[in-house]
Amino acid sequence: MPASGTFGYGEEYSTLIDVNTLGAIVTKGISLSPQEGNPPPRLWETRGGMLNSIGLQNVGLEAFIQQKMPFLRRCKTPIIINFFGYSINEYTEMAKRLSTLEGLAALEANLSCPNIKEGGIHFGCAADTVSKITKLVVKSSKLPVIIKLSSQVSNLKDICLAAEDGGAEAITLINSIPAMAIDLERKRPRLGGITGGLSGPAIKPIALKAVFDAASVVRIPLIGVGGIVNYLDALEFLLVGASAIQVGTTNFRNPLAMTEIIGGLDSFLAERGIKNIREIVGSLEVLI
């Protein structure tokens, strides 16, 4: 499935790939009110990575329902709505209202965006806050709730346990990593938002470790994301314990990437005679 923010609201890519072949569509993050986003420039490519400072620009809940839901409702693949709030109340309000919409499979609560001043990563850094928000969101939602967390915390295992205890059905790891780039000549940051979130192949090892650590403590499924380019990367995430994977920055490089990864996994399973991909999940062998 696509990582939130790299696939628009699905429709953007619908002429390029058959979105129904995906495991799910995950939408761009939605908030209660429309967000203008951060000042440009918003993008900068680093070695093996992409730095972004979009700032969760989105049309807001009402416009999302009016303009974006009709297409999503027509899709046959499960629809996961990514959302965020600037306060705990906004998270619960969003969960309540989104879960009344027809045609959705799950909600993914973003507790880890590095690009907004309030909310976002701020809420995902402390186990007690994660626990509180998760419980409230789960209580407000009629749909399964996925919690999307950051790797940039000192107590990832505790935070994952807090999400699990709070009633999350799954955890997505990781979000882009707070980072920055400098224009030496002009002595300025490369991004209008000064700092941004790093994604792409550069962060894959960090994401793998986060999933590996989370898998050692929680029982709920993990969705691995961070720098996946091809099916081999996807397999690595499955090995360390992810039950599903999201593809982000790679969609920009190659709109067919997710289709190719699915095809690659199918061939791999067929060649090895593996009947169920779940056999691979968490099958990493660690010699002590």
Partner 1 sequence: MQTDYTSQRTINSPIYLNGIIIENEQRGDQYHHLKVSLSKSVGLVVPGQFAMLSIEGRKDILLPRPFSIHNFDNKENASRFDFLIKVVGDGSRLLAQSSVGSPLRVLAPLGIGFPAPPLGYKVLVVAGGIGIAPLFPLVLGLRRSHIDLHLFYGAKSQKDLICLHELLLLKGITISIATEDGTHGEQGLITKVLRDKVPFQAEKMVIYTCGPEPMMQAVANLAVEGMITCWASLERRMACGIGACLGCVVKTKKGYLCSCMNGPVFNSQDIIWQGDAKS
Nearer to partner 1, 28 or 148 (CB): 28
Stretch that binds partner 1, among 38-46, 117-125, 163-171, 235-243 (CB under 8 A): 38-46
Query: In 10 A of CB 217, how many CB atoms?
Result: 13
- Between residues 129 and 230, which has the closer beta carbon with respect to partner 1? 230
Q: What are phi and psi of 191, to 5 degrees?
A: -105, 145
Site map (CB under 8 A) of partner 1, residues 49-68, x = contact: xx-x-x--x-----------
Q: According to the binding rule CB under 8 A, does residue 6 interact with partner 1? A: yes
In whole angstroms, the minimum distance from the beta carbon of 75 to partner 1 comes to: 16
Cα gap 7→196, rounded to integer Å: 19
Instruction: Name which of 182 and 256 has its Cβ closer to partner 1.
Output: 256
DSSP label at residue 112: -
Which H helix or E strand runs over 199?
strand 196-199
**Cα gap 190→198, rounded to integer Å:** 13
- Give start and end residues of each alpha helix (H) in 103-249: 127-140, 156-165, 204-215, 231-239
Closest distance to partner 1 from the beta carbon of 61 (Å): 17
Contact between 169 and partner 1 by CB under 8 A: the answer reads: no
Edge-to-edge strand ranges of the sheet holding 25-26: 25-26, 79-83, 106-110, 145-149, 170-173, 222-225, 244-246
Closest CB to partner 1 among residues 10, 224? 10
Tell me which of 3, 7, 80, 162 binds partner 1, using CB under 8 A: 7
Is there binding between residue 28 and partner 1 (CB under 8 A)? Answer: yes
129 within 8 A of 155, measured Cβ to Cβ: no
Task: Tell me, residue by residue from 179 to 208, as one string, x for binding to partner 1 by CB under 8 A and - for no binding.
Answer: ---------------------xx-------
**Closer to partner 1 by Cβ: residue 2 or 241:** 2
Nearest CA to 159 out of 135, 133, 125, 136 is that of 125
Tell me: does residue 43 bind partner 1 (CB under 8 A): yes
Asked if 254 is part of the footprint of partner 1 (rule: CB under 8 A), the reply reads: yes
Cis peptide before 261 (omega within 30 of 0): no
Is residue 255 involved in binding partner 1 (CB under 8 A)? yes
DSSP reduced 3-state for 214: helix
**Cβ proximity of 210 and 173 under 8 Å:** yes
**253 in contact with partner 1 (CB under 8 A):** yes
The answer to whether 75 is a known catalytic residue is no
Sole window of 102-110, 138-146, 163-171, 250-258 interacting with partner 1 (rule: CB under 8 A): 250-258
Catalytic residue set: 113
Binding site for partner 1 (CB under 8 A): 5-8, 12-13, 15-16, 28, 36-37, 39-45, 47-50, 52, 54, 57, 200-201, 249, 251-256
